[in-house]
Amino acid sequence: MQKLIIAIVSNEDSTAASRALTKGGFSVTRLATTGGFLQVGNTTLLIGTEDDRVAELVGILKKYCATHKKVVPTTESLGRGLRRDGVAPEITVGGATYFVLDVADMGKL
Ligand code: 2BA
């Protein structure tokens, strides 16, 4: 059976994720979207695939979009470089929310 995976990912991870998915033989559509809570831009990926490939697809999303830590510069840290001494704090970025939907029919005209 065909499935449609809707995956909402950060803009930062979306390029690497969609490249890896495409390389893996998946067809991907990227939509520029905005989170309703933070009102910040994110990317929604639409991927139609067979159900026996869903686990592989989720594995790729996990690899490229899982939450990870990142050291970010702040105004306080300007000119001091990216140091892990609290001046340039580590924040959590990335993450993905995905839905797997059954597809009643799929066609290309
Ligand atoms: P996440 O749960 O990781 O969600 C990241 C983005 O994924 C969301 O952006 C939204 O665009 C999408 N998303 C997540 N769950 C969804 C769902 N069930 N249906 C449709 N889209 C979904 P934002 O809405 O801007 O949310 C950003 C972060 O703010 C969320 O991270 C969550 O940690 C928090 N958040 C979202 N809604 C909240 C609420 N009503 N109350 C408290 N915190 C909320």
Question: For the residues 37-44, what does the mean pLDDT come to?
Answer: 96
**pLDDT tens readout for residues 11-25:** 999 999 999 999 999
Ligand 1, atom 37, lies closest to the CA of 37
- What is the Cα–Cα distance from 48 to 100, expressed in whole angstroms? 10
pTM of the model: 0.87
Indicate the SS3 state at residue 44: strand
- Inter-residue contact 91 to 7 (CB < 8 Å): no
To test the pocket of ligand 1, the residue of 5, 33, 92, 97 to mutate (highest count of ligand atoms within 8 Å of its CB) is 97
What separation in Å is there between the alpha carbon of 8 and the centre of ligand 1? 10
